[in-house]
Structure formats: structure tokens, C-alpha cells
Amino acid sequence: MMTNDPIGSVEYTSSLLRPIRLSFDILFDDDTIHYSLFDLPKAEQPWYGYHQSKLYGSGMLPLSDVAGKENATPEAVAEALCREIGITKPFTIGNVRRNYVDLHIPEFVRRSLIRPNHPVESPSAQRARAYILFADLRGFSTWSLSVNPEQVTRIFEVISERVVQMLIDYHYDYWKLLGDGIMLVWEVTDDETTTADNAIGAAFELHKKYWYYWKEDEAHLPEGFGIAICGGDVVKYASATFFESVVITDYLGPVVNLAARLQSIAKAGQVLVNKQVSKNSRFHWYSFENVSDRLKNELDNLKGIPDSERVIFQVIH
């Protein structure tokens, strides 16, 4: 199918650019699987691409039993992927693209905090069900006073680039950078289990990205993120700023406050969640340990947490 790779030798310095060797859509009557490959297989090697869909989730599966092997057609790759996932429905192939560069920025800009204002829309408030993630670097304030500004700036670059990239894989609806901290929001539209899993996956992606940076940097860096995720009912609020041309969106409610407070007691590398998250997650690679008794003293010192929300779990990965 593809005997050469004209962009394979190009070096990309921006983490927002990603060379795609091949991508196509597997079209069903009720869903679409998007499949993309960053590297083409060589002789006797499996096809190893990223697939993503609403019904069948996302991930990377090695496909060894592909008709035509390294010279396979998109149809043959799709048949092998469907066998691996266990899909027997008929499909067609569409939107085949070869050798291009994927730029993440457009969708990121589209989901910016600030958007054009229409007076009839502002202000507005609506109830929503959402999962709220707060993350904060432990020891950042003290560390930032002991190093030069360039080192502090570099950490912000690492954090912000990772947040931008995670939009593609974990589909959050709202983001806010809070100095060395992060707030992410997922609104529940239909499948709450997928929403919970996306939030947990994003939390460990933050841990992983920062760990690699921490391991490779020679300077003494803050130890890592403390993260909390809480699910429940919130109010989504939009209001015009002093400048009537823009609207600022934010999320309010006890669940937001709970996530922010739990984040403050999470240790570096930890992910703490409320019972709503542990109840709805189905990701088999995670387990939940009830740490309510262990954290009793810390929870007692946090203000504004009702007794019904004092059942706290740590996510074990």
C-alpha cells in the first residue's frame, strides 16, 4: 500500500505537530472508528496504530494477522482490527489520508475559555453533570524561589503542552491553568463511565509526562502532581466580562470545591477521587482503595465537606 514515507526523515521540534503516515475511518451504521499510524510497519512487523471511537473506546493494538502484511490495504488493516476487537458488523472505509502533519492547535483554540459574546446568551447558568480534576505541583512555590526564571518557565511549558495534547486523547470540555495547577472539566452527555475513565486516564497521563520530565532534567524539580477528581452535579456559568465582546465560562458548586480541597491533601503521584468516580469507572487497569480512615485527620481539617462526601478513594494504577 505504501512503499515510502516522505515525511519520515523530517524532524519536528514542536510537540503540537505529529507526523501521520496513514489514517482512515472505519464506517459502521452506528459508529466510526478513526485509525491512524505514526509509523509504518516493516517486513514481518505488526501494524501498530491508534484507534478511537465512541462505542469501542480507544487504544493501540498490535495487528499481526493482516492480509498483505506491510503492503496491506486499509480494508485489510480494518478487517484485522475488527477481528481483534470482536466486531463482526459490515463496514466501509473512508477519509483515507497519507503522509501529513497533524496540528493540534485548531481544536484547542476552538475550545478556548474565551469565545465571542452574543448578548442574548450572557449571563447564563445551567445545571450539568460533570467530572472535575484539579492538579497541583507539590513544593512548587518554595522551589520557584530558589531557581532562575527560565527553569520556572520551562515547567509551565511542559504542563501547558501536555494539557493541549490531552484534549485529543481524553476529550475534556474545559481547561484552566492556575499557575502551577490545572483544572479540567468533563461534562457528562451520555456515557458516564467513559467520562470517568477519561478523567482518570488524564490524571495518570499528567503523572507520566511529568515523571519523564523530572527524571531527565538535571535540576532539582518539584516532586510531582497531587491530583483529585470528583464527579457530581455542577452549575455551568457564562457571563460577559468588562469587555462585552467576550464571555467567560466557569463551573461552580460543591463538587468543584470538593475536588479543589481534596487535591490539597493528595501527595505527589497520588490520585484521590470521590465515591461517584469509583462507582462509575470501569477501566480494568485501575483499582480503588478506600483511604477515608487513613486521611481522617486531613479530611477533618478541610472546610465545607459534608459527611456524605467523606468517603474518599485512592486510585491504584
> DSSP secondary structure string, 230-299?
EEEEEEEEEEE-SSTTEEEEEEESHHHHHHHHHHHHPPTT-EEEEHHHHHH---TT-EEEE-TTTTHHHH
Beta bridge partners of 58: 52
Residue 14's pLDDT is what? 53
Coil/strand/helix, residue 310: coil
Q: Per the omega criterion (within 30 degrees of 0), is the bond before 6 cis?
A: no
How many whole angstroms separate alpha carbon 197 and alpha carbon 28? Answer: 24
Cell (9 digits) for 288: 480503588
Rounded CA gap, 240 and 219, in Å? 43
Write down the pLDDT at residue 35: 92
State residue 11's pLDDT score: 56
Cell of 114: 474565551
* pLDDT at residue 175, rounded to an integer: 87
CA dist 164 and 260 (Å) reads: 21
Distance from C-alpha of 60 to C-alpha of 80, rounded to nearest angstrom: 13
Nearest residue to 52 (alpha-carbon basis) of 77, 72, 25: 25
Closest CA to 162 of 219, 207, 112, 228: 207
Going residue by residue through the chain (317 aa), what tens digit of pLDDT does each one get? 444 455 555 554 555 566 778 889 999 998 899 998 888 888 888 898 889 888 888 888 899 889 988 888 999 999 999 999 999 999 999 988 887 666 544 444 445 444 554 444 556 788 999 999 999 988 888 888 888 888 788 788 778 877 887 887 888 888 888 878 899 999 998 888 889 999 998 998 888 887 777 776 656 788 888 999 999 999 998 776 555 555 678 899 999 999 999 999 899 888 999 999 988 888 767 788 888 888 888 888 877 777 778 888 888 87
CB atoms near residue 91 (< 10 Å): 19
